[in-house]
Structure 1
Amino acid sequence: MSDGRLPRRRRWIGWTVGLVLTLLVLAIGWVAIRGIGAVSDLQLVAKGASQLKDAIAEGDLDGAEPIAESIAGNARSARDLTSDPVWQAFGYVPWLGPNFRAVSDVAEIADDVSADALAPLLGVAADFDLGSLGFADGAIDLEPFAEIEKPLGAASAALTAAEQRAQQIDADATLPPLAEAVRELRGSVTEAATVVGSLHGAAVLLPTMLGGDGPRDYVLAMQNNAELRSSGGIIGSIALLHAEGGRITLGTQASTRDFPGLDTALPLSESTVALFDDRPGRYLQNITSIPDFAEAGATIAARWQGRFGGEIDGVIAVDAVVAEHLMEATGDLSFGPFTATPETIISILLSEIYAAVPDPAAQDDVFAQAASGLFGAALSGGDTKALIGALAESAGEGRIRIWSAHEDEEAVLTASALGGTIPKDSADATYVGVLMNDTTGAKMDYYTRASVVTAIGSCQGEATTQVRVTWTNTAPSDAATSLPPYVTGAGYYGVPAGSVRTLIAVYGPEGATPSHIDRDGDEESVQTAMLGDRSVVQHEVLLAPGESTTITVEFQGDGAGARLTEAIVTPLIEAPEISREELRCGS
């Protein structure tokens, strides 16, 4: 006869389930309370970061110090709240886990930046006017740079590490509000890393590059993005800059008409010849097709020396969009028949000029006037803080590339984005790239647009990195008749007027090889080459007005798959949309 009690085994199961449920409720309550506190701390960090930025820009260091201390306290608190074993355990819960991991990653990044970057930056700000960069009366005071180089280096290293960590957070796996916060963090950290990295580079390089140890001469090559080349655009005009004692002056100006094609090409790397034959070694306009600016810069210098003689200490290449960024600091600019604003300068330089000034020689004169006027305004009339911001933004978009003939300086440059070289893959991240080179022989890339999607995962059991490029010709349907012949090319090089013909090269991670290649789902003949240890696949694409095409390349083997993938794309007039998606195998 039963005494009403449950069997011992059932009682044990009931106690266990009850205990687990109780612990689960307590754990949920624990992480909920700590999560609310962490989110509140991180919101205060974001608010403080904005206040600190304004205080430093205004030179209010007395006000900046308590703000920095508050940021440090809130960041440290957020990290403490999200680093205990219970919180970390929730990071492995299906669906919810990525959200917990993202919050703890954001807190850790904020704490590291606060501890390792803010302190040295405040020290620099106390000893050196970051708002002026030592700029006065058309010259830069070079002496203080030696003192600020080390703390800026520490801050730059911390921000670079934070940027890499932020890029590894899987925002797409989190809830929408958190995903947006992660993307905002990435943007803020990337902006800070770019600005501080540029300042550190300036502290290392400017004292010698601006003539602190003796006069320097640099070739300034201005690229026109309306006719694309790998590093931005065709060289449209070129000039000599002289630097001495921190003062920069503009010397000889020339155009591509001053550099006729060579019968014998200058020496080129095997990869350049494989992709573009010897044209970059014979024509000045094509030198910026060379993917590695270390090679392109040396070739530009050789062409200048062959035409004008003298010793060249380096080459600086900028594209037309840099003018827009600079004019936001310098104001409106008058040249030739135009008066440009920051909002209209691109349209004028890369489109309207061809209708208003049909003669190519006269166009060159107008371009020279624009370059001279903008250069003079930047050196004498602009707000220095805004100028620094404009240059940093341009550098971050890959629109400024520098090569130095001095090995020690070139070593620093090649390790930064300014050097224009393809970065080395690391244990945490790989790089892929998309290079666009126009073969229309005209200025139709004013109307081209691009988007790039990367994905990583596994296809047919192999680690895979996928790059998908969509290329569009947005020219009006009547472009053949509504646009000037100089813009369309008028069929001179075998391309129907209004159409765009482009070489699109896609390179993959180091050591990986193409396993699948298609264009709009169909296989077609492609050109292959190597860039160092990277495989390159190049399509020739012809698009009529309004047409679009998508190229998909999958890479497998060493370097493909699991690691974070960053895409480097030729700078276009309108920055390409770059995104990451879940891998959908094409093969």
Structure 2
Amino acid sequence: PLVQKTVDKLILASQVLPQMLGYPEEKTYLFLFQNNMELRPAGGFIGTYGILKLKNGGILSFVTDDVYNLDKEYDSKVPTPQPFQDYNKRFEWYFRDSNWSPDFPTAAEKAQWFYRLEGGPENVEGVIAITPTFIERILALTGPISVPDYPYEFTSENFSDQLEFHVEQNFYKFEEKAQRKNIIGDFGDILIAHALSLPKDKLLTLFNIVVEGFSEKHAFVYLNDSEMQKVISQSDWDGRVKAAARDYFLYVDCNLASLKSDPYVKRTIDYSVSWDGKNNPIARLTMTYNHTGEFNWRTTRYRTYARVYAPEGSALVKITGNESDVAVSEELGKTVFGFFKVTEPQTEESVILEYKLPMRLAKQPYSLYAQKQAGTVRHQLNVNIDWNGRTAEWKTDLNEDREFQIN
């Protein structure tokens, strides 16, 4: 099935891949390294960005930089989204926080807007983004990589931790703070060279890793050319928030000043639907945060502004476990419930939402689209549905989007 999915996706994407890869004209892309150890709505904190230039299927240049080097040169007057103001006391919006929307096309357009606003000199034709998880998968295929002038060997098991140690704790032995992320560009050049020189018998595995990276939302593409972007969307490479005719949810965390705690916060989502005394369908969503970390240079208490995207027209009945008022809004064709939540290290906390689903769903056969947040790693997922007297139960994970239905 994976091989077939890979072939199907590549056949579809082949309509735009030559152009995308710079044939016959050179292409320039904004590159985002979204660190999912510090989870943000569209994948992870943008600590590093770059400019990638492609020509005739090859890389002309790939230059990366610390995002703060661009941000610090600009005096922003753009107000941040309200949760940054309320819970981080951060009032000026910069490029590094541009991926506030969980919809990657929206986030990619905002990233380009900030790049231009802050004086980025390149005229880019789209955005390519990845998380460290995607790199770890490639490293598992290429084998360990060392970067000249640095004492590290990067493997699929240690890449994220080793890189974080360098840029936060050890960089001063090698360079000034402004250059502390130079190692990422050097590493990227070597990784790309290794990947492109893999033997032919490993190429299908590489293609599988790339396709899985898109389906598991650790790699994303957004092209400014609307016709090419349609094909990217049909290939499911765009990380968009999906439309769903029936039941749907997307749970989105935004790490607010919680350091790189996310790998240590294990999450379980329990989702159920039942009926109240007035014959209304009631959804109950429980998110359990199990914080296995400690207080140290890498991890701290987990502070998240969470948003639950539900079918448009859903109405909140009650919520427990939250630490702020609930902000209700409409976005991307969904009703959104937003709230603040803190989980201390070595504790387990839950937030429980109950909301009435739109009555338009009540007379239809039941189906659920459970969408995975970009950058997350295998949340546990338990689904229990009672729909007009028919029941079903599933125990799985959110390694990728999941669909459920009662026939």
Category of TM-score, reference length = shorter chain: 0.7 to 0.9
The answer to whether the 8 Å contact 1:447/1:475 transfers is yes
Separation (CA, whole Å) in 2 of partners of 1:438 and 1:541: 10
Quote the residue 2:316 is aligned against.
515
**Do the aligned partners of residues 431 and 409 (structure 1) sit closer, same or farther apart at CA in structure 2, a change above 3 Å counting?**
farther
Separation (CA, whole Å) in 1 of partners of 2:361 and 2:346: 34
> Alignment RMSD, CA only?
3.0
Structure number with higher strand proportion: 2
Separation (CA, whole Å) in 2 of partners of 1:515 and 1:251: 47
The SS at the match of 2:63 is strand
Residue-by-residue CA offset, 1:397-426 (whole Å, 9 max, x unaligned): 111111111010122233443212111113
Q: Which has the higher contact order (CA 8 A, sep 6+)?
A: 2
**Aligned partner letter, 2:128:** I
Structure 2 unaligned regions, length at least 5: 388-407
Aligned residue runs from structure 1 range 42-441, under 5 A? 188=1, 191=2, 194-260=5-71, 262-264=74-76, 273=81, 282-306=93-117, 307-335=119-147, 336-350=150-164, 354-357=168-171, 360-361=177-178, 363-381=180-198, 383-426=202-245, 429-440=246-257
Quote the residue 2:269 is aligned against.
452
**Aligned partner letter, 1:467:** L
Separation (CA, whole Å) in 2 of partners of 1:263 and 1:425: 40
Cα distance, 1:361 vs. partner? 3.9
Cα distance, 1:241 vs. partner? 1.2
Separation (CA, whole Å) in 2 of partners of 1:280 and 1:411: 35
**Do the aligned partners of residues 471 and 193 (structure 1) sit closer, same or farther apart at CA in structure 2, a change above 3 Å counting?**
farther
Separation (CA, whole Å) in 2 of partners of 1:300 and 1:396: 22
Cα distance, 1:435 vs. partner? 0.8
Separation (CA, whole Å) in 1 of partners of 2:36 and 2:350: 21
Cα distance, 1:559 vs. partner? 5.7
Match 2:373 to one of 556, 570, 574: 570
**Aligned partner letter, 2:162:** I
Separation (CA, whole Å) in 2 of partners of 1:351 and 1:555: 46
Separation (CA, whole Å) in 2 of partners of 1:438 and 1:346: 17
Cα distance, 1:194 vs. partner? 4.4
Q: What is the count of residue pairs matched by the alignment?
A: 371
Cα distance, 1:276 vs. partner? 5.7
Quote the residue 2:343 is aligned against.
543
- Range with bigger deviation, 296-305 or 231-240: 296-305
- Identity fraction in percent: 19
Residue-by-residue CA offset, 1:63-114 (whole Å, 9 max, x unaligned): xxxxxxxxxxxxxxxxxxxxxxxxxxxxxxxxxxxxxxxxxxxxxxxxxxxx
Quote the residue 1:91 is aligned against.
none
Structure number with higher helix proportion: 1
Residue-by-residue CA offset, 1:361-411 (whole Å, 9 max, x unaligned): 454123333323222322334632221111111111111111111010122
Separation (CA, whole Å) in 2 of partners of 1:514 and 1:523: 20
TM-score under structure 2 normalisation?
0.81
**Do the aligned partners of residues 238 and 196 (structure 1) sit closer, same or farther apart at CA in structure 2, a change above 3 Å counting?**
same
Residue-by-residue CA offset, 1:111-160 (whole Å, 9 max, x unaligned): xxxxxxxxxxxxxxxxxxxxxxxxxxxxxxxxxxxxxxxxxxxxxxxxxx
Match 1:556 to one of 357, 363, 367: 357
Matched, 1:503 2:309: no
Cα distance, 1:556 vs. partner? 1.6
Cα distance, 1:196 vs. partner? 3.8
**Do the aligned partners of residues 538 and 559 (structure 1) sit closer, same or farther apart at CA in structure 2, a change above 3 Å counting?**
farther
Cα distance, 1:287 vs. partner? 1.2
**Do the aligned partners of residues 252 and 552 (structure 1) sit closer, same or farther apart at CA in structure 2, a change above 3 Å counting?**
same
The answer to whether the 8 Å contact 2:239/2:374 transfers is no
Residue-by-residue CA offset, 1:551-581 (whole Å, 9 max, x unaligned): 2222421565652212223245632112312
The answer to whether the 8 Å contact 2:126/2:222 transfers is yes
Residue-by-residue CA offset, 1:151-191 (whole Å, 9 max, x unaligned): xxxxxxxxxxxxxxxxxxxxxxxxxxxxxxxxxxxxx5xx4
**Do the aligned partners of residues 526 and 360 (structure 1) sit closer, same or farther apart at CA in structure 2, a change above 3 Å counting?**
farther
Quote the residue 1:526 is aligned against.
326
**Do the aligned partners of residues 274 and 362 (structure 1) sit closer, same or farther apart at CA in structure 2, a change above 3 Å counting?**
closer
Cα distance, 1:453 vs. partner? 2.4
Residue-by-residue CA offset, 1:438-480 (whole Å, 9 max, x unaligned): 112522223222122222332331123332211222113xx2x
The SS at the match of 2:39 is coil
Separation (CA, whole Å) in 2 of partners of 1:263 and 1:226: 28
Quote the residue 1:141 is aligned against.
none
**Do the aligned partners of residues 197 and 462 (structure 1) sit closer, same or farther apart at CA in structure 2, a change above 3 Å counting?**
farther
Cα distance, 1:274 vs. partner? 6.2
Separation (CA, whole Å) in 2 of partners of 1:283 and 1:339: 33
**Aligned partner letter, 2:340:** E
Separation (CA, whole Å) in 2 of partners of 1:352 and 1:580: 41
Cα distance, 1:304 vs. partner? 3.3
Cα distance, 1:315 vs. partner? 0.3
**Aligned partner letter, 1:297:** A
Separation (CA, whole Å) in 1 of partners of 2:95 and 2:386: 41
Separation (CA, whole Å) in 2 of partners of 1:323 and 1:523: 35
Separation (CA, whole Å) in 2 of partners of 1:196 and 1:431: 29
**Aligned partner letter, 1:505:** R
Structure 1 unaligned regions, length at least 5: 1-187, 489-497
The answer to whether the 8 Å contact 1:451/1:576 transfers is yes
The answer to whether the 8 Å contact 2:34/2:130 transfers is yes
